[in-house]
Structure 1
Amino acid sequence: MRVFGGRRWRRASVAGLVTVATAALLPAATGSAAAAGDGHVPARYAKQRLSWHACDGKPSLECATMTVPRDWHHPADGPDLAVSVSRHRAADPAARRGVLMMAAGGPGGQGLLRPARFAEKSPAVAAAYDIVSFNQRGLPLSSPLTCQTKAEFDAFFGDDARDRSPAAVRGVVRRSRQLARACQERSGGLAPYITTDQTVRDMDLFRALLGARRIAYYGPSYATMIGAYYATEFPHRVDRLVLDSPVGFAGTWQSFEEGQPLSFQRRFEQDFLPWLAAHDATYHYGRTAAGAKERWEARRRALREHPVDLGDGRRLTPNVLDNATVQALYNAEGFAPLASALSVLERWDTATPAERAAVGRAFPVYLSPEFLAEFAAVTCNDTPWSRDMDGWVRRTAAYTAKYPLAGARALAFAAACAAWPASHAPRVHVTGKGLPTTLMLASRHDPATHYEGALGAHRALRGSRLVTVGGGDHGQYQNGNPCVDSLVDRYLLAGAAPARDTTCPAPGTSG
């Protein structure tokens, strides 16, 4: 669920890539040569000129606004949309290889400013490529999708997702149906067109307006699905492809999200809790994983009866604890801040103002109305969902009992898609046909994009090479792992993919 766009993506670079070996380029603003891939793009889109200017707050980036049709399959119908795009020019123009396109995870993450951070983290790649990205349709700064008020968004997550009383379950289903209905009624007709298929067609127009015959692409998390769909629909536009922490794009969103309760619980119980017990001398939270888990569960029970005032207008409720824990699991670097906050909560009455402020930072605001709108639209539109609400209530009750950390909230997301209007988005079946060798990166205990889904995606994308990383971080490239970084850099810069699937150890961590 939020699945794909965790706090890890503040490192602008973990995305999904394709590389341009010999970038045969067209004049930058012609929009000719197969704009958007099929040669049938109306001239008002294909021949537009991007007006570049400095991005707000990011002097190393240029930004522009691209006009796209609301529906690429019927471009004459409906109002035009705006997509904000950005670029970081190659640092060494004489050695420039071409364009490396990025996208953000989520669905719901914003990619516009990510090339700046990517370039800082990978200067050799930034010297060789113009690094470009965008805020996909439906997001702020592009044509935004509106679904909820702030109050409705806050109510959507409630106070305790584990409450399976009939009244609580009815409330979850009611709010989810309200979300699905509001997305249709408040979006001005936009909601049905927020899909991965429409996004990759926006991307191909962007490619054409940049004058590139082929692009390199890097995408993390949900952006691996964007990259896989792009490569499937426009294989002749892809030179190299890197998919980092892939979602299960070989199946449906429903099948992928049904695997997340297990993978979040696995990361919590097999990685975080043992780490917390090993650092008992620092955090005093239990000398065993079982002891630390019981302390965490006791804190959660206490918050149901007595939420903690964080001092900034927010209350620390059971759901806030769940969500903060979920976010901390995305990368091992999040373990220590969460552990410190848990330790302070055990002595909240005597905590200093500085300690309380640190707890507030460790429990950040979870998602946003804008993120949830995009997330719901993409996941509900892209692939079919079961509409058997009784079945969802039974299934998610089992998730709540066995995998409560993320399983407890599964009903809210499933019920929204079960109530979503039938979508006309085409099914895209990823095969790898017509593609060069591509590179995939996945860790065994990734909580958000589970390894089982990555293996299925690897099998579907024939000819891909899978790099399996130890540990459970979400996002492998630019994550302090020299083994991974060297493989990706060599692939992007020299075109050298591993001869076969390979492994890398987990990046080093400190407590």
Structure 2
Amino acid sequence: MTVPRDWHHPGVGADLTIEVSRHRAADPAKGRRVLMMAAGGPGASGLNRPAGFVKASPAVGAAYDVVSFDQRGVGSSSHATCQTDAEYQDFYAGDFRDRSPAALQGVVNRSRQFAKNCQQRSGDLVKYLNTDQAVHDMDLFRALLGVQKISYYGPSYATWLGAYYATEFPQHVERAVLDSNEPFDATWQQAELGQPMSFQRRFEQDFLRWIAKYDSVYHYGSTAAEAKATWEARRTSLHDHPITIGSLTIGPNQLDNATLQGMYNADLRWRPLASVLAALEHWDTATPAERQLVEKTFANYLSPGFAAAFFPVTCNDTPWNRDLAYWLRQSATDTKKYPLVGARELAYAATCASWPKSDAPHVKVTGKGLPPILMLNSVHDPATYYEGALRAHKALNGSRLLTVTGGGDHGQYQNSNACVDSVVDAYLLKGRIPAHDMTCPSKPLPTPAG
């Protein structure tokens, strides 16, 4: 579909194109209802998600047309260009823990260059890549579908998108599920400042204890402390002797990236990550299958296209502290306390600190005029930390929070947790929402294959 470049000044500048998708209801006799879903990031594609969604929840797929889209700035929709592949690799090169003056200046210079390149290569498009503009695109999509009200499902960043949509267009919301919540009542600066703690918590309290439990399989240490020491020693080794596989270089930042990506879902990611970490400990004798898994894991961290969608939204939506001295101090503290993600804080913050000031409107989320919204979050979610979800829940009056206790997966619905799925399905299909906040236990942690 075609949308205005700027919804607040339609007709000014060239229109943008938003690619959309639809999976029609399997049982249209139940009436015409639309469930709009969006992807996280910001920067992930939503186009192919309806097919997977209805496969995992066939009853919902029978009752709803499930629709999605690539948000402006993403994938098949009009998008920005900010980096070449080489520039992207350079952005993550080296060691973000290196606090020498030369290293810090290099990080800041690359962040400033990224922001400059976005403006030079994409023109004024980047200023219109923000959540407020995106929710206006969503409402046009709703209108083109010919319905007065939609239901909504959104995970991760899509909770921010959903909360903004519900705030700006409450009259068009029937039901909404916000899964793994950003603190969408706050600023992106506040949201991202919480992540170093939550990723470190997930890594040390959950993953390292798990891999130590299976020391007979992975030989990584029999306690969490021993496993952490093994990981830190490998990171130090990669600083001095990075591993090269073809055009891929695995240094300390790449170890951080692969590890933090592994924290998102225990069932899907812990066993592959543990196998990769184990293979790095005997790299000289690693099997071809182990080397292939390592290459696949380290080659899959984001992309220039993702970065070109992520930074415009996070830098445009809400104000950032633009004082570099503040970020040097803050990042030093977080690198020391929460190094897994805290070490990269300066690179991300310096990008937004050098970004042109945005005139994106401030959207205050209150819940006014809305039906009860269902929110989901696990207590040790690394990316959308529970403390932020509690804050968002408090801001969104009338919402109900389903807390998954004892776990830390990112994304609760359609995650093989029958307790969660039954609550969400009852809400989407019958409008039944818990009378009060409630809890579900997390599913058991995985066991090593074989």
TM-score in terms of structure 2 length: 0.98
Answering whether residue 442 of structure 2 is matched by residue 506 of structure 1, we say yes
Instruction: Name the structure 2 match of 1:281.
Output: 216
1:262-273 correspondence runs (5 A): 262-273=197-208
Q: Which runs of 5+ in 2 are unaligned?
A: none
Number of the residue aligned with 1:475: 411
Identity %: 65
The answer to whether residue 4 in structure 2 is matched with residue 69 in structure 1 is yes
1:275-327: CA deviation from partner (whole Å, max 9, x where unpaired): 011111111111100000000000000011111123x4212111111000000
Structure 1 residues 177-186 or 217-226, which shifts more? 177-186
Corresponding residue of 2:188: 253
Runs of 4+ off more than 3 Å: none
Match of 1:342?
277
| Post-superposition offset of 1:355 | 1.7
Matches of 2:104 and 2:290 in 1, distance apart? 36
In the alignment, structure 1 residue 389 sits paired with structure 2 residue 329? no
* CA–CA separation in structure 2 for the residues paired with 1:392 and 1:291: 32
Give the structure 2 partner of residue 417 of structure 1: 352
Equivalent pair of 1:70/1:79 in contact (CA under 8 Å): yes
After the TM superposition, which of the residue ranges 498-507 and 342-351 deviates more from structure 2? 342-351
Whether 2:233 is the aligned partner of 1:304: answer no
Q: Which amino acid aligns with 2:133?
A: Q
User: What's the offset of the Cα at 1:140?
Assistant: 2.2
* Counterpart Cα distance in 1 of 2:81 and 2:75: 10
Partner of 2:428: 492
Secondary structure of residue in 2 paired with 1:363: helix
C-alpha deviation, 1:188, in angstroms: 2.7
Deviations 1:202-253 (A, max 9, x none): 0000000000100010000000000000000000000111000010101100
1:331 to 260, 265, 280: 265
Deviations 1:413-452 (A, max 9, x none): 1001100111000000000000001100000000000111
Give 2:264's aligned amino acid: Y
Q: Secondary structure at the match of 1:109?
A: coil
Structure-2 separation of matches of 1:351 and 1:180 = 40
**Distance in 2 between the 1:132 and 1:378 partners?**
22
Report the number of matched residues: 445
1:138 matched to 2:90: no
Matches within 5 A, 1:453-472: 453-470=388-405, 471-472=407-408
Determine if contact 2:378/2:403 at 8 Å carries over to the other structure. yes
State yes or no: 1:92 paired with 2:27. Answer: yes
Q: Distance in 1 between matches of 2:446 and 2:200?
A: 22
- Three-state SS of the structure 2 residue aligned to 1:86 is strand
Q: Report the 3-state secondary structure (helix = DSSP H, G, I; strand = E; otherwise coil) of the residue aligned with 1:189.
A: helix
Amino acid across the alignment from 1:375: F
Cα drift, residue 348 of structure 1: 1.2
Counterpart secondary structure, 1:77: coil
Q: In the alignment, what sits opposite 2:14?
A: 79
CA separation in 2, counterparts of 1:76 and 1:433? Answer: 31
Which structure 2 residues correspond to residues 105-144 of structure 1 after superposition, within 5 A? 105-144=40-79
Gaps of 5+ in 1: 1-65
2:286 aligned partner: 351
Shift of residue 129 of structure 1? 0.2
Please report how far the alpha carbon of residue 350 of structure 1 lies from its aligned counterpart in structure 2 after TM superposition.
1.3
Q: Supply the RMSD in Å over aligned alpha carbons.
A: 0.9
> Match of 1:122, as an amino acid?
S
Q: Is the 8 A contact 2:93 2:251 kept in 1?
A: no
Q: Which structure shows the higher helix fraction?
A: 2
Structure 2 distance, partners of 1:123, 1:404, is: 42
Q: Distance in 1 between matches of 2:378 and 2:233?
A: 30
Shift of 1:352: 1.5
Aligned mates of 1:96, 1:346 — CA distance in 2: 58
| Structure-1 separation of matches of 2:428 and 2:104 | 49
Partner of 1:437: 372
Q: Deviations over 1:307-357 (max 9, x none)?
A: 1123x4212111111000000000112111111111111111112212211
Aligned AA (2:243): V
- CA distance in 2 between counterparts of 1:468 and 1:445 reads 10
Letter in 2 for 1:288: T
3-state SS, counterpart of residue 423 of structure 1? coil
Structure 2 CA distance for aligned equivalents of residues 364 and 212 of structure 1: 42
Whether the 8 Å contact between 1:324 and 1:364 is mirrored in structure 2 is no
CA contact (8 A) 2:376 2:403 kept: yes
Distance 1:364 1:225 in 2: 29
SS at structure 2 position matched to 1:304: helix
Distance 1:465 1:371 in 2: 32
Cα distance, 1:97 vs structure 2: 4.6
Structure 1 residues 256-281: Cα deviation after superposition (integer angstroms, max 9, x where no partner): 10000000000000000000111111
